[in-house]
Amino acid sequence: MTVTPDVDNKAVLLSLENVTLSFGGVKAISDISFNILEGEIRAIIGPNGAGKTSMLNVINGFYHPQKGTITWRGKRRRRMKPYRAAASGIARTFQNVALFKGMTTLDNIMAGRSLKMKRGLFWQMLHVGPAREEEIANRRHVEEIIDFLEIAHIRKQPVGRLPYGLQKRVELGRAMAMQPELLLLDEPMAGMNLEEKEDMSRFILDLNSEFGTTIALIEHDMGVVMDLADRVVVLDYGQKIADGTPAEVQSSQEVIDAYLGVGH
């Protein structure tokens, strides 16, 4: 097993220690430890059923591990609800697009600003003064994201009608609107053609370098993973089999065995 390199100049944003998650008798994740450093792009890879999505669900509070500790920004995190994880700065996208189908692109991305908007019922009812100012200030921010992702032409369209590639992009925009410190992307390029993958890769790189957002992504396209990621963690059957830079992971015998099989 490769050892996680100690990178001195970057602070640890999130670290998981000996996390174990099981559903009844099935162990989805067993005794996994790894960390995510501030500002890096961290990939989580592994064959199907390796526990990658479960890992994301643990990080954003959707599943609660039976064992192990999660430390977020230097503080040990207790059992938390997803909306608390969201409030603490963790955003995510989903493997199967989980947009709000009945709403427009604009409203979907505005939905990502939910936590930034505070005005109470009274002002909302009148829709004047503070509520209106808040709405417009957030709209301005959302328009910047729409510019960034080049989706201005579909601003007012209901997302249900959009092609798949654009839906994925809107979902990224919605997560960006939360201005998260850690962005979890669950297979952002699944089902895309080459051009769409290249576009999405560019958005992820730009997002990371322009806004300094830390990104953890699950992806099956190894070319994309090796090009984008600073460090890669490899899971198989709920266990960590490798962790390190793309080059280190690629040369690991265990990873090759997991992906290609072992001769008997």
Partner 1 sequence: MFYREAGQYKTSYAADQALLPLAQDRYGIAIVLFTAFVLIPFFGTSFFLVSIMIPFLIYSLAAVGLNILTGYAGQLSLGTGAFMGVGAYACYKLTTYFPDVNIIVHILLSGVFSALVGVVFGLPSLRIKGLYLAITTLAAQFFLEWCFLRIRWLYNYNDSGAIEVPNRDWFGITVTGAEASPVARYFLILTVVAVMTLIAANVLRGRIGRGWMMIRDMDIAAELMGIRPLRAKLSAFAFSSYYCGVAGALMVFCWLGSAEVESFDINHSFLILFMVIIGGMGSLTGCFLGAAFIHVLPVVMRAVPSMLGWDILASTVEHITQIVIGLLIIFFLIVEPHGFARLWQVAKEKLRTWPFPYAT
- Contact positions vs partner 1 (CB under 8 A): 60, 62, 81-83, 85-87, 91-92, 94, 98-103, 107, 110-112, 114-115, 117, 119, 121, 124-127, 131-132, 134-136, 139-140, 143, 157, 174, 178
Closest to partner 1 by CB, 135 vs 199, is 135
Contact status, residue 30 vs residue 60, Cβ threshold 8 Å = no
| Smallest separation (angstroms) from partner 1 to the CB of 155 | 10
Tally Cβ neighbours within 10 Å of residue 235. Answer: 25
Residue 145's nearest CA partner among 193, 177, 190, 102 is: 177
| Smallest separation (angstroms) from partner 1 to the CB of 17 | 24
Question: Which residues lie closer than 8 Å to 221 by C-beta, 6 or more apart?
Answer: 189, 197
| Smallest separation (angstroms) from partner 1 to the CB of 88 | 10
| Smallest separation (angstroms) from partner 1 to the CB of 181 | 14
Helices (H), the chain: 52-59, 82-87, 105-111, 121-126, 129-148, 164-177, 194-211, 222-228, 246-251, 253-260
| Smallest separation (angstroms) from partner 1 to the CB of 100 | 4
Residue 224's nearest CA partner among 189, 193, 252, 192 is: 189
Closest to partner 1 by CB, 171 vs 243, is 171
Closest to partner 1 by CB, 10 vs 155, is 155
Closest to partner 1 by CB, 78 vs 264, is 78
